[in-house]
Amino acid sequence: MKLYWLILLLSITISGCLPQAPVVHNGPPVHSVWRGGTLTDSSTLAELLSYYKAMSALPQSGIEIERQLAREALAQGEKIARLRLALLYMLPADKVHDSGRSLTQLKALAGSKLAARPPFAAFIQLLKHAYALQKNIHLKNINLKRRLRQVEREKRDLALKLQKNKEKTAALRRQIQQLKDIERIMNSR
């Protein structure tokens, strides 16, 4: 009898009569848009610079894909992924463009084997220097914007004063004209 129920259950399962859980698709597999190969911890600096150059020419959607792939590589423990993320956050064309996140990724590389390689150590220092320059430029821009707002306020105040002076001048001209008219009337008598 047990064999009968087992065969019945198998036949129902195979025929597809039992309801099955819906299949969940996470979307199509994500593939790198960079055609230069795969960056690994043993990649050269030239490969990394080629990667950055290719990424700077991508539209925002391609940058997002690469950022996601770099995050996945970082989760797998690849140190080069931190450098990839730092470069992606420094892309001027990226809407996320966050030099602070880039610096965080670079600081996390301190003491790693990747950062011990002389070309990469020098490159990381250059990126940190570029971040410092960007930060200085950003602060200068903030100060210039403040100064511009102040100058615009002063300009509005001067425009208001000019308008008031024009109104006073017009009133004085009317008074002068009235006085001239009175003088003319008096002289004509």
3-state secondary structure 82-114: HHHHHHHHHCCCCCCCCHHHHHHHHHHCCCCHH
pLDDT value of residue 66: 85
Amino acid in the structure at residue 73: A
50: exposed, middle or buried (Cβ count in 10 Å: 0-12, 13-18, 19+): middle
Q: Which residue has the higher pLDDT, 143 or 22?
A: 143
Q: Please, which pLDDT band fits residue 22 given cuts at 50, 70 and 90?
A: very low
Q: What tens digit of pLDDT does each residue of 156-174 get? A: 999 999 999 999 999 999 9
Q: How far apart are CA 107 and CA 81, in angstroms?
A: 13
Q: Is the pLDDT of residue 115 over 60?
A: yes
Distance CA 138, CA 36 (A): 33
Which tops the pLDDT comparison, 17 or 173? 173
pLDDT of residue 95: 73
Alpha carbons 161 and 159: distance in angstroms, whole number: 5
Q: How far apart are CA 148 and CA 157, in angstroms?
A: 14
3-state class of 30 per DSSP? coil
Q: Which of 75-84, 133-142, 154-163 has the lowest mean pLDDT?
A: 75-84
Show the tokens assigned to 16.
Answer: 């597809």
Per-residue pLDDT band for 34 (boundaries 50, 70, 90) equals low
Compute the distance between CA of residue 149 and CA of residue 155 in angstroms, rounded to an integer.
10
Pick the residue with more confidence: 61 or 153?
153
Is the separation of the CB atoms in 135 and 99 below 8 Å? yes
Predicted confidence band of residue 6 (pLDDT cuts 50, 70, 90): very low
| Mean pLDDT, residues 119-137 taken together | 82
| pLDDT tier at 35, thresholds 50, 70, 90 | low
Across the chain, what does the average pLDDT equal?
A: 78
Are 43 and 82 in contact by the 8 Å Cβ rule? The answer is no
Q: CA end-to-end span of the chain, whole Å? A: 141
Which of the four pLDDT bands, split at 50, 70 and 90, describes residue 73? confident
The Cα–Cα gap between 123 and 131 comes to: 12
Provide the pLDDT for residue 64. Answer: 87
